[in-house]
Amino acid sequence: MKMYYDHDADLSLLGGKTVAIVGYGSQGHAQAQNLRDSGVKVVVAGRPGRSWTQAEQDGFEVMTVADAAKVADIIQILMPDERQGQVYREEIAPNLRAGQMLLFSHGFNIHFGQIAPPADVDVAMVAPKSPGHLVRRVYTQGGGVPGLVAVHQNATGKAKEIALAYAKGIGCTRAGVFETSFREETETDLFGEQAVLCGGATALVKAGFETLVEAGYSPEIAYFECLHELKLIVDLMYEGGLSRMRYSISDTAEFGDYMTGPRIVTEETKKEMRKVLEEIQRGEFAKKWILENQAGRPSYNAIKQQEAEHPIEQVGARLREMMSWIKK
Ligand SMILES: NC(=O)C1=CN([C@@H]2O[C@H](COP(=O)(O)OP(=O)(O)OC[C@H]3O[C@@H](n4cnc5c(N)ncnc54)[C@H](OP(=O)(O)O)[C@@H]3O)[C@@H](O)[C@H]2O)C=CC1
Ligand SMILES: CC[C@](O)(C(C)=O)C(=O)O
Ligand SMILES: [Mg+2]
Ligand SMILES: [Mg+2]
C-alpha cells in the first residue's frame, strides 16, 4: 500500500467522461465544484427539492438519479449512507451498463452488503478525510485534504487509475492519497468519528463545560475554555502535531497536559474504545443504524433534540453572534 500525490495521477483519464454526483450535500457540493474547477464534465443527480435547486443555482445540469445513471461514465454516490441502498436498487441498478464506475466516499454499503453491484462495473472509493465544506474551502485556497482510495471491483482493469484521477480532480492528491480496502476505510472511519472526532470530542467538550458551570463558573468562560479554544489548539496540532501545539502553549499548560491527560482518558477509556471497535468490526453498529432508520429514527431524533437544547449550544450561539468572521 502506498501514498499517491499529484504526479501519480492522470486527470486526462477523465477527459471525455461524464461524472454524475448523486446527492448535493456536504460532500456532493464540494466534490462537484472541485471537479468542475479541475476541468471535468460534471452533472448532479437528485430529487426535486432544496439540493436540486441549489445545484442549479450553482450552475450545474441537474437530473434524476435514473437519468444520471444512464448518461454518466462515473457515478459518485454521495447520498446519506442509510439512503444509498434503496436508491441504488430502484434508480441506479436498472440503468447500469458494463464498464461504468460506481464510486463511493465511504465503504458502508459495500462492506456491509447493502449494495451488491453487478460484476461488469468498476466499484471504487475516493474518501476525503475531511468534512465536505472543508474539501471545498481548502481546494479553493490552493490546497487539498488527504484521501483514501480503494478498489472493490476492477472490471475495466483501470479502476485504480480512474479513481486516482478523480482524487486529483477533487484536490486530494495535493495532500496525499493512501491506498486501502473498503473494509479498512469503513471500520476506521466509523471508529474515528465515534470514538475521537465526533463522539469522543463532543463528550469531552460537554463534560468540561458542565464541570465548570456546575462548580459556579460563568457559562461564557466555560464555552471559551472548552469549545472555542479547542479549535485554536487543534489548528496547531494540524500544522505541526502534538509537539507544535505544546511548543505554543505555556510550560504550565504543558506540565498540566502531561499530568492530567492520562487521568481523563484512562485505561478504562481505551478498554471501551476497543469494545466500540469490535462492535463496528462485527457489524453490530451497522445493524443498529440500519434498524434505527427502518424504525423512523426514534433514538436519533430524541437525542438530536436533547443535544440542541444543551446550555453550551445556547451560550455559544450568543457569543458567536459577535464574531462576524466565524459567521462568514
Ligand atoms: N459529510 C462528510 O463530510 C463526509 C461524508 N462522507 C460520505 O459521503 C456520503 C454523503 O454524505 P454527506 O455528504 O454527509 O450527505 P448529506 O446528508 O450532506 O447530503 C445528502 C444529499 O443526498 C440527497 N438525497 C437524499 N436522499 C436522496 C434520494 N432519495 N434521492 C436523491 N438524492 C437524495 C440530499 O438531497 P435533498 O436535499 O433532496 O435531501 C442531499 O443533497 C456518505 O457516504 C458519507 O458517509 C465521507 C466523508 C466525509
Ligand atoms: C468525521 C465524520 C466523517 O467521517 C467525516 C467528516 O469524515 C463523516 O462521516 O461525516
Ligand atoms: Mg470520515
Ligand atoms: Mg464517516
Quote the CA–CA distance of 70 and 166 in Å, as a whole number: 20
Q: Which atom of ligand 1 is nearest to the CA of 65?
A: 31
Question: Grid cell 461564557 — which residue?
Answer: 220
What is the per-residue pLDDT across 138-191, written as a single tens digit (0 to 9) for each? 999 999 999 999 999 999 999 999 999 999 999 999 999 999 999 999 999 999
The pLDDT score that the predictor gives to residue 328 is: 65
* Centre of ligand 3 from the C-alpha of residue 214, in Å: 33
The atom of ligand 2 lying closest to the CA of 192 is 1
Nearest residue by C-alpha to atom 2 in ligand 2? 193
The catalytic site residues sit at: 106
Query: Is 193 part of any known ligand binding site?
Result: yes
Q: Which residues pair with 3 in a beta bridge?
A: 178
- Spell out which residues have Cβ within 5 A of ligand 4, the ion: 189, 193
Task: Tell me which residues have their CB closer than 6 angstroms to ligand 2.
Answer: 131, 189, 193, 197-198
Site of grid cell 464510486: 103
Q: How close is the Cα of 209 to the center of ligand 4, in Å?
A: 26
- Full-prediction pTM beyond 0.90? yes
**Rounded Cα gap, residues 120 and 166, in angstroms:** 20
pLDDT of res. 313: 98
Q: φ and ψ at 79, to 5 degrees? A: -90, 170
Residue nearest to atom 9 of ligand 1 (CA): 78
- What ipTM was predicted for this assembly? 0.99
Q: Is 235 annotated as a binding residue?
A: no
Q: Is 85 annotated as a binding residue?
A: no
Among the atoms of ligand 2, which is closest to the Cα of residue 128? 7
**End-to-end CA, the chain:** 40
CA of 255 from ligand 2 middle (Å) equals: 32
Q: In the structure grid, which three cell numbers stand for residue 263, read together?
A: 487521568
Phi, psi (5° rounding) for residue 163? -65, -40
Amino acid at 286: A
The response to whether 132 counts as a known ligand-binding position is yes
Sheet harboring 147-153: ordered strands across? 3-4, 177-179, 147-153, 122-128, 101-104, 74-77, 18-22, 41-46, 62-64
DSSP E strands in 94-136: the ranges are 101-104, 122-128
Pocket test for ligand 2, best of 106, 135, 145 (most atoms within 8 A of CB): 106
Tell the residue number behind the cell numbers 471537479, with chain if given. 35
Domains recognised in the chain with CATH numbers: 3-180 (3.40.50.720), 192-322 (no CATH)
Segments in the chain below pLDDT 70: 1, 328
Distance CA 18, CA 16 (A): 7
> Is the CB–ligand 1 distance for residue 145 below 6 Å?
no
- Is 114 strand, coil or helix? coil
Residue type, 105: S
User: Closest by alpha carbon to 76, among 34, 132, 21?
Assistant: 21
All 3 cell numbers of residue 242? Answer: 502534538
The pLDDT value recorded for residue 114 is: 98
Closest ligand 1 atom to residue 30 Cα is: 13
Is 141 annotated among the ligand-binding residues?
Answer: no
Q: Are the beta carbons of 108 and 287 closer than 8 angstroms? A: no
Place of cell 484512562: 266
Dmax over CA atoms of the chain, in Å, equals 66
What Rg, from alpha-carbon coordinates, does the chain have?
22
Element (H, E) at 176: none
Closest residue CA from atom 3 of ligand 2: 193
